Amino acid sequence: MHRRLVFWCIATAVLFVLGGILAACHRQMPPVTFHAEGRPAHLSEWHVVAVADGKLVLNQGVVPYDLNTPLFTDYAHKLRTIWMPQGAHANYDAEQTFDFPVGTVISKTFYYPRAAGGAEGTVLRTYDSSRDFAGEGLDLAHVHLVETRILVRRASGWAAIPYVWNTAQTDADLARTGAVLPLTLLDDKGASEAFNYVVPDESQCSSCHARDWVTRQIAPIGPKARHLNRDYDYPDGRENQLAHLVRVGYLQGVPTATQIPRNANWMDTHQPLEARARAYLDINCGHCHNPKGAANTTALTLDVTAGDDRHLGICKPPVAAGRGTGDHMFDIVPGQPDASILPYRMASSEPGVMMPEIGRSTVHREGVALIRAWIASQQGSCLATE
């Protein structure tokens, strides 16, 4: 009798647990909501991501993605997602941002790994993301959410809407005028760096996202073939991201794999230094430094479309003089990073000198080291043009 009672208790407990798991599996968020106008006061009103059971989870149909080389934002980690209305799809483009349909919602959540036992506002400066994820979402026991930016494709074009996560980490609130969040970065050696994390306001979004500086129409930066052409670990297995988007019906017109461009991973030392440096400049600088971007008057082209050396900045004098030159004569001097304007501005966090002008408050030390190494490896001289 005693054994039967024990067995019954165990069986009941197992069924209870399984029932809870099944119930959780069948609990779903309301469908993703496309807001054709206005700016909802809370991120949760989009139903793209939500906090549940200690995790930031993705809604049904919300597809995560990553970039070969990401844009630097004060060492923040990022969860990127894309959603489209049922039956809608984007059209492939070999160079530019894909042509997304009205109703597309792209999100980017900025977060940091938590520092164990650290003071409030202390986060880790690390590239290790092994403890970040719980399935396709984020494990809130190990990460601190900072902001989520929504890019939504409306009939009138793209709209950028920033949200800042509350201290309880339960939802993010609309931040049309941006925000300044004091944080401290802690590295693996115990060194700390206090800084102000700046959430851009809506008007600042166009500084980077304007596809054409004349029309000021904005567009996403990351969803381009060369950035997305890589594998991703989905719950049902590892797959090329472009192939996955095709399989779920979000993308059409993709050519064969050998015809798709691919940017290098800037951290992969097995790839050529030239490719890694160009990929880094492409994603961090190219959205402004291109023939139609905000920095088109500088004659400095840093996306992958840059043609001759002068457009890339090699032996090119700056268009405008000032503190930003550091009294250097050329954007890039082959073999001489110390004499080049480009790494000088990247290594600064001083307004009026630093590049990019917005989007960071700290210096990306590893990124600066990469560009310096690339310049140091270049052959040639600027003497003939001095």
CB atoms within 10 A of CB 375: 23
- Give me the pLDDT at residue 234, please: 95
Q: Which residues of 268-301 are buried (b: 16+ CB within 10 A; e: fewer)?
A: eeeeeeebbbbbbbbbbbbbbbbeebbbbebbbb
- Of 162, 142, 139, 159, give the one whose Cα is nearest residue 151: 159
Write phi, then psi, for 116 (nearest 5 degrees).
-60, 120
Are 183 and 195 within 8 A, CB to CB? yes
Residue 299 DSSP symbol: T
Token pair 């110390």 is at which residue?
A: 338
- Give me the pLDDT at residue 25, please: 38
- Extract the runs of DSSP E, i.e. beta strands, from the chain: 49-52, 55-58, 63-65, 77-83, 90-91, 105-113, 122-124, 133-134, 137-139, 143-154, 157-165, 172-174, 179-186, 192-199, 231-234, 237-240, 251-252
- Give me the pLDDT at residue 343, please: 97
- Give me the pLDDT at residue 213, please: 62
CA 147 – CA 53 distance, rounded (Å): 20
**Complete edge-to-edge strand list for the sheet that includes strand 63-65:** 63-65, 77-83, 105-113, 143-154, 157-165, 172-174
- Give me the pLDDT at residue 138, please: 98
Q: What is each CA distance from 126 to 129, 131, 186, 190, in whole angstroms?
A: 8, 12, 8, 12
Instruction: Please give the single-letter amino acid code of residue 337.
Output: P
Are 48 and 207 within 8 A, CB to CB? no
Are 52 and 216 within 8 A, CB to CB? no
Are 101 and 90 within 8 A, CB to CB? yes
User: 149 pairs with which residues across the strands?
Assistant: 108, 162
- Give me the pLDDT at residue 30, please: 97
pLDDT tens, the chain, 386 aa long: 444 433 333 333 433 333 343 334 335 799 999 999 999 999 999 999 999 999 999 999 999 999 999 999 999 999 999 999 999 999 999 999 999 999 999 999 999 999 988 788 999 999 999 999 998 899 999 999 999 999 999 999 999 999 999 999 999 999 999 999 999 999 999 999 999 999 998 776 766 776 666 667 889 999 999 999 999 999 999 999 999 999 999 999 999 999 999 999 999 999 999 999 999 999 999 988 888 888 888 888 898 876 655 578 999 998 865 788 999 999 999 999 999 999 999 999 998 899 988 889 999 999 999 999 999 999 999 975 44
- Give me the pLDDT at residue 384, please: 54
pTM for the model: 0.90
